Amino acid sequence: MTTQRIAEDANGPRATFEDIEVGHDLGVLEWEVDAEDARTQLHTDRDYDPWYVTGAPGHDVIVPPQMQYRPPRWLLSRNYNIRGLFYKWEFENVRPMTAGMKLTLTGRISDKYIRNEREFVAYSVEARDAVGDLVFTTTRTHVLDALSRDVPRSGQGIDSGIKREKI
């Protein structure tokens, strides 16, 4: 059984629950939805639909909604070196994403709380297209380390959280 929470990894000290500020602006991420990335996502997930290949009625070829998973996480990782378990995911796809679409993502830390002696952090992100129309919103909650908060932080761990910003 694990008896410690990791204090640092290859990216430096891990952010603590106390370091994370509710309301903190996560900044801006410009992201272009890449057609090749969409095809990779389809093959990885084995998620096939004619709309992803020939287009939806009245739309170009759309990309699967799970394409929006990583970019919000990149925003969080740019601000806080944290690890944990993905606990909750809320999202609304307001408009379909299409290959080649340029999106601007903005986000903030929306909540943090302690439940059952575990530390939870939530962040909210919205994505808008080039003309400013809302494409999707999401709120994700992570439980930090998944260990009781009274387990001490010490030692070094393997970095598993910050990924290159490419699908």
Which residue(s) pair with 92 in the sheet? 137
- Can you list the domains of the chain with their CATH numbers? 8-34+63-144 (3.10.129.10)
Residue-level pLDDT at 8:
85
Q: What token pair was written down for 20?
A: 């994370």
Residue-level pLDDT at 107:
98
Which residues, other chains included, contact 17 with Cβ-Cβ below 8 Å and sequence gap of 6+? 112, 114, 119, 121, 144, 149
Stretches in the chain below the pLDDT threshold 70: 1-3, 158-167
Residue-level pLDDT at 132:
98
Residue-level pLDDT at 10:
83
Residue-level pLDDT at 84:
81
pTM of the model: 0.85
| Distance of alpha carbon 99 from alpha carbon 61, whole angstroms | 7
Residue-level pLDDT at 160:
56
